[in-house]
């Protein structure tokens, strides 16, 4: 048996002192700052997960609602709903996270005054987004990541809205127009407006170059022989890459077709000429009974279909968005994460209480 070592006895080189081996380490202590920091982080994420937790708890089948129910705030955010609506696809905005990302197309709903939007997939391989019913998650636009960028774009970018000619005539005096969407718009004199008309006595002849008529000059001679006068073609009308050219002739479409057929000019087609007129509301207000005056010309009312007004207006506060690519089953993981965060929060709340009692509260002397 090994003899017991005397206290303080010198140990050989490389030997381990058994007294030091037996020393117990002090238990790690969680400080006030650490406990409070972890507790705050847990509470923060519990709060942030609340909308996803509510939506994840929705029924598997959506609830059918009307647009008026949403606009009257009768439907709670993060509800799983089915909505029958008509999107204004001409006002669609693509919101992307990074370059190359298909993102989402955010579209206002007709008749909602920009208070209700649809967020549909921006991927061209997905099913067509235009339908009569939309199913998804109802959210506040301000609560979404894309909300800030979409509202900023809408507030800075003029968008066209349209009104019929009778509505324009009725609003010339009051500068208040009823749009085709049913909304009423107040217009100021500097507002940009535009419309398009089809010229009844002018046609566009689109020709294809071939061996017999290889260029614009040859085609110009052929049109003259067919008794079709034309305006001098500009450089942009002569598309060598496509092998095509364009001539504007002062005859109606039907008459131009007959003359081309009589001259056996089969490598040509006739299209109507569309004139784009634009100007300000102040100019349009001066229109007389003979027609709408804009862009230095007067167009009879029966030749104008719709008048476009370019407006810049922001999205109202409290606007809603229906996100069509979200279902409650996608958020199955939120509940387990919530339970884990709650357990960690309770643990560090208890640690915080102990740390406060240990470090801040005075220690009582024994009786």
| 196 and 226 both lie in a single domain | yes
Asked, for residue 365, whether it belongs to a domain, the answer is no
| 38 and 151 both lie in a single domain | no
Asked, for residue 364, whether it belongs to a domain, the answer is no
| 218 and 322 both lie in a single domain | no
Asked, for residue 18, whether it belongs to a domain, the answer is no
Asked, for residue 215, whether it belongs to a domain, the answer is yes
Sign (positive or negative) of CA dihedral 293, 296, 302, 306:
negative
What stretches of 49-132 show up as alpha helix (H) in DSSP?
50-56, 67-71
Per-residue pLDDT of the chain (367 residues; tens, 9 = 90+): 455 667 667 777 777 777 666 656 667 778 899 999 999 999 999 999 999 999 999 998 999 999 999 999 999 999 999 999 888 888 888 888 767 677 888 999 988 888 999 998 877 666 655 567 899 999 999 999 888 889 999 988 888 889 999 999 999 888 899 988 788 888 888 889 999 988 888 899 999 999 899 888 899 899 999 999 887 656 566 666 678 888 999 999 999 999 999 999 999 999 998 888 999 999 999 888 899 999 888 899 888 989 999 988 888 899 999 998 889 999 999 999 999 999 999 999 999 999 998 888 766 655 5
Question: What is the pLDDT at residue 180?
Answer: 86
Asked, for residue 256, whether it belongs to a domain, the answer is yes
Alpha carbon distance 24, 27 (integer Å): 9
**CB within 8 Å of 277: residues ≥ 6 apart:** 194, 195, 196, 197, 294, 295, 297, 299
**CB within 8 Å of 179: residues ≥ 6 apart:** 161, 162, 163, 167, 185
| 321 and 337 both lie in a single domain | no
| 279 and 355 both lie in a single domain | no
Q: Parallel, antiparallel, or unpaired for β 80-84 and 63-65?
A: parallel
pTM: predicted TM-score of the whole model, two decimal places? 0.68
How many CB atoms sit inside 10 A of residue 58's CB?
18
Beta bridge partners of residue 164, listed in sequence order:
306
Crossing angle for the helix pair 334-359 and 32-48, to the nearest 10 degrees? 150
As for how many domains the chain has, the answer is 3
Give the CATH number for residue 152.
2.40.50
What one-character DSSP code corresponds to residue 190? T
Q: What b/e readout covers 70-102, taking b as 16+ CB neighbours within 10 angstroms? A: bbeeebebbbbbebebebbeebbbebeeeeeee
| 170 and 101 both lie in a single domain | no
Beta bridge partners of residue 221, listed in sequence order:
none
Question: What is the pLDDT at residue 128?
Answer: 59
| 191 and 293 both lie in a single domain | yes
Question: What is the pLDDT at residue 125?
Answer: 62
| 303 and 177 both lie in a single domain | yes
* CB-based contacts of 181-185 (< 8 A; 24+ apart in sequence): 181/88, 181/110, 181/111, 182/111, 183/111, 183/113, 185/161, 185/309, 185/311
| 96 and 203 both lie in a single domain | no
| 276 and 300 both lie in a single domain | yes
Question: What is the pLDDT at residue 1?
Answer: 44
Asked, for residue 169, whether it belongs to a domain, the answer is yes
| 100 and 126 both lie in a single domain | yes
- The range of the structural domain enclosing residue 343 comes to 32-57+332-359
| 300 and 188 both lie in a single domain | yes
Q: Are 35 and 359 in contact (CB under 8 A)?
A: no
């Amino acid at each position: 048996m090994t003899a017991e070592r005397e206290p303080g006895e010198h140990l050989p080189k490389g030997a381990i002192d058994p007294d030091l081996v037996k020393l117990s380490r002090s238990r790690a202590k969680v400080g006030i700052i650490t406990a409070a920091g972890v507790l705050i982080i847990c509470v923060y994420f519990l709060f942030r997960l609340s909308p996803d937790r509510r939506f994840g708890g929705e029924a598997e089948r959506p609830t059918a609602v009307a647009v008026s129910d949403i606009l009257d705030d009768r439907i709670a955010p993060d509800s799983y709903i089915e909505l029958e609506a008509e999107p204004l696809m001409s006002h669609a905005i693509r919101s992307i996270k990074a370059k190359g990302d298909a993102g989402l197309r955010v579209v206002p709903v007709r008749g909602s005054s920009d208070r209700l939007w649809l967020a549909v997939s921006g991927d061209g391989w997905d099913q067509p987004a235009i339908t009569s019913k939309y199913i998804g998650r109802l959210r506040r636009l301000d609560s979404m990541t894309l909300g800030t960028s979409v509202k900023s774009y809408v507030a800075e970018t003029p968008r066209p809205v349209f009104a019929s000619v009778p509505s324009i005539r009725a609003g010339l005096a009051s500068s208040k127009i009823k749009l085709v969407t049913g909304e009423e718009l107040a217009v100021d004199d500097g507002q940009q407006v535009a419309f398009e008309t089809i010229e009844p006595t002018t046609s566009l002849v689109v020709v294809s170059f071939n061996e017999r008529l290889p260029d614009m000059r040859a085609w110009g001679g052929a049109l003259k022989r067919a008794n079709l006068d034309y305006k001098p073609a500009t450089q942009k009308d002569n598309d060598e890459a496509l092998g095509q050219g364009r001539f504007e002739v002062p005859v109606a479409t039907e008459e131009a077709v007959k003359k081309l057929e009589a001259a056996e000019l089969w490598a040509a087609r006739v299209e109507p000429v569309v004139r784009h007129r634009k100007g300000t509301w102040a100019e349009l207000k001066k229109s007389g009974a003979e027609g709408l005056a804009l862009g230095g010309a007067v167009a009879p009312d029966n030749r104008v279909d719709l008048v476009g007004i370019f407006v810049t207006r922001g999205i109202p506060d409290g606007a809603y968005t229906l996100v069509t690519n979200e279902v409650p089953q996608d958020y199955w993981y939120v509940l387990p994460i919530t339970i884990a965060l709650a357990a960690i929060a309770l643990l560090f709340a208890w640690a915080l209480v102990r740390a406060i009692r240990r470090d801040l509260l005075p220690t009582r002397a024994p009786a």
